[in-house]
Amino acid sequence: MKRLRLFLGTEVPLLGILAFALGPWVWMMLSSIRPDEELTHSPVSLIPGALTLVHHIELLQRTSFASNLLDSLVVAVGAVTLGLLLSLPAAYAFSRFRFPGRRLLRVQFLVVNMFPVVLLVLPLFFLLRRLGLLDTYVALIAGHATFTLPFAIWLMTSYIDGIPPDLDEAAMIDGATGVQVLRLVILPLVVPGMVAVGIYLFIASWNEYLFALMLAGRNVRTVTVALQMFIGENEIHWGLLTAGGTLVALPAVVLFLFAQKHLVGGLTGGAVKG
């Protein structure tokens, strides 16, 4: 009786919710490995007759998609590197030092989070054009690293807060300078935090669309922009599109599942502390 109540009251509704959460994504992946005859035949049968990789192969061989994947990878790795270089020292300062303006600065970094991208992207376009950086890796890396900075600093600060200050003090007593403490004591201990922040930065950059569209798009074309352009074409080729969607979604989903606990912990940790 108790088993039945658990089944009807908890497991059945959750199965429904999971079907809603995963169904459309699974349907996209399934569509990408079905031949055109099945995809263009209305109504599309729910159970696939034949499976094929033709769309994936055509996408990678006949279109620019492989180089778009490379562009996305370069930008994301760059954004991770720059984002960590910017957020780690800032988080260390917020965690270990009490200085005038600290509270204000922390709030400022969060307020910056609130500005809509539309507000920033036009002047950034002008600025980068004047510097001759429009449509380059540098433009997108700088843009992505900056708009992810508030959450990166937030997450990193909570990691450094978790390292006992006694360790710093012990090193200081042994004669280490502030910079040495950061390099020799904090850095090795904060590696898990750097992995979590790095994964967040990677996913945010990999998934980003508007900056990638406005500040680049011709020489440097990331996968999100490339896919959107496929959708815009007159005749929608669902085989290619779903294949592209499957390939683009995979790294984000895998990394997210891997780092889920840390990212969610960072969000709610902030929420609980206020």
CB nearer to other proteins: give 92 or 159.
Answer: 92
Q: Which amino acid is at 153?
A: I
Binds other proteins by CB under 8 A, chosen from 54, 73, 77, 120: 120
Task: Find tokens 């209305």 and name the residue.
Answer: 42
- Is 177 a binding residue for other proteins by CB under 8 A? The answer is yes
CA gap 15, 98 in Å, rounded: 49
Size of the site for other proteins (CB under 8 A): 93
Instruction: Assess 268 for contact with other proteins (CB under 8 A).
Output: yes
Stretch of residues binding other proteins (CB under 8 A), selected from 19-27, 47-55, 56-64, 184-192: 19-27
Q: Which of 159, 200, 202, 206 binds other proteins (CB under 8 A)?
A: 206
Nearer to other proteins, 53 or 126 (CB): 126
Q: Which is nearer to other proteins, 22 or 167 (CB)?
A: 22
Site string for other proteins, 25-54 (x = CB under 8 A): x-xx--x-------xx-xxx-x--------
Stretch that binds other proteins, among 61-69, 73-81, 163-171, 262-270 (CB under 8 A): 262-270
Separation CA 187–CA 181 (nearest Å): 8
Closest-CA residue to 80 (of 144, 147, 139): 144
Question: If you compute the radius of gyration of the chain from its CA atoms, what whole number of angstroms results?
Answer: 23
Which stretches within the chain are classed as H helix?
2-6, 12-32, 36-39, 54-62, 65-96, 102-112, 117-130, 137-147, 149-161, 165-173, 178-180, 187-189, 191-207, 210-214, 223-232, 238-273
If binding is defined by CB under 8 A, does position 116 make contact with other proteins? Answer: yes
